[in-house]
Structure 1
Amino acid sequence: MFFVRTAMEKDVEALRGLLIESFHATYDAIYGADKVHQMLDAWHSRKAIEARISRKDGEFLVADNGRQIGGLIFAAMSKDMAKTAFLHHLYVDPKVQRQGIGRDLFAEIETCFPDAEVMRLEVEPQNAAAIAFYQAHGFVEVDRTKNCGGPNSGIEAIVMEKPLT
């Protein structure tokens, strides 16, 4: 059984390992392994993970069973949009998917931003499983972007939102 808790600095290596495995499982068929490796280095370096864990306006949670971290979620208040929490990451280890870990992580992160009225995210248009998960949890498509994850990325994404009020 996995329990949700706050991520800590001692988790960085395990989190990076989970991100590497999850990213390759999810995106290799879409972008190719070389591009996925570049994305991992740019977005999920040890330094980037440490920065997210210590971010004051964010929450980084993990699903932990005492032997492994089975999932992670990170969200933070938007710097550009008032009263909006941005869901940056939700990944579950492919070996333990379909056990409710994503659901439990999401249920907890929703409660972490009392000043937010909306939760927003970007999702790869070909990631049908993620889109279905977010729709089942009340998200709807509100826009599209050609720069997922940051300016000039060239990565297309569906922008989805869910009211938190």
Structure 2
Amino acid sequence: MFVRTAGELDLPAIRALLVETWHATYDAIYGAERVTAINDDWHSLASLHARLDRLDAEFIVADDGAEIAGMAFASAPEDGKTVMLHQLYVRPGRQGRGVGGMLLDEIIDSFPDARTVRLEVEAANAKAIGFYAAEGFVEAGSTQNCGKQDSGIPALIFERKLA
């Protein structure tokens, strides 16, 4: 398994990974119809493509040569001291095998001036909360609009201070 920068040709596979992972994780929380609507909006090819060109961001995949097992997207707007981890997803069949940690390490290494990594996580997603807690993140607040402005999706905010 190796981690590399995502490219345009990866986008259909990344979308498929996100659709699979979101349904596996969130159908029981939000319902399949709402998850499909979120996937069609947040994980459309056009939405993913827009992330490739951001200068203040890093868009990476974990690839074993046969399939993309995970992806992460983060940005560090303004002064670059705070990294916002927007997405870190690992295909359900590949979870628990170190892929998420590899992606997180690469994201952190990609922003050498960062002092804090911040993320939003669904309060009912105990598996993700456990992963982030094991990686040194602590709860630092909450939001009523996870993912994008006016989403209406509540989430917890977690942070990890960097050296």
Q: TM-score normalised to the size of structure 1?
A: 0.95
Which ranges in structure 1 are unaligned for 5 or more consecutive residues? none
What is the CA-CA distance between 1:78 and the residue it aligns to? 3.5
**Aligned Cα root-mean-square deviation (Å):** 1.2
> 2:71 corresponds to which residue?
72
Give distance in 2, aligned partners of 1:75 and 1:151. 17
SS across alignment from 2:4: strand
Q: Structure 1, residues 20-41: CA drift from partner, whole Å, max 9, x if none?
A: 0000000000000000011111
Q: Does 1:15 align with 2:7?
A: no
Partner of 1:104: 102
CA separation in 2, counterparts of 1:57 and 1:151?
19
Equivalent residue, structure 2, for 1:63:
62
Paired position in structure 1 for 2:146: 148
SS in 2 for 1:99: coil
Which stretches in structure 2 are left out of the alignment for 5+ residues?
Answer: none
Structure 1 counterpart of 2:131, from 130, 133, 138: 133
Quick check: 2:80–2:111 contact (8 Å CA) kept in 1? no
Q: Distance in 2 between matches of 1:47 and 1:115?
A: 30
User: For 2:44 and 2:77, how far apart are their aligned partners in 1?
Assistant: 21
> What's the counterpart of residue 3 of structure 1?
2
Residue by residue over 1:59-111, the C-alpha shift from the partner in whole angstroms, topping out at 9 and shown as x without a partner, is 011010111000001100135x8621100001011111111111111111111
Question: What letter corresponds to residue 115 of structure 1 in structure 2?
Answer: D
Q: Is the 8 A contact 2:6 2:52 kept in 1?
A: yes
| TM-score normalised according to structure 2 size | 0.96
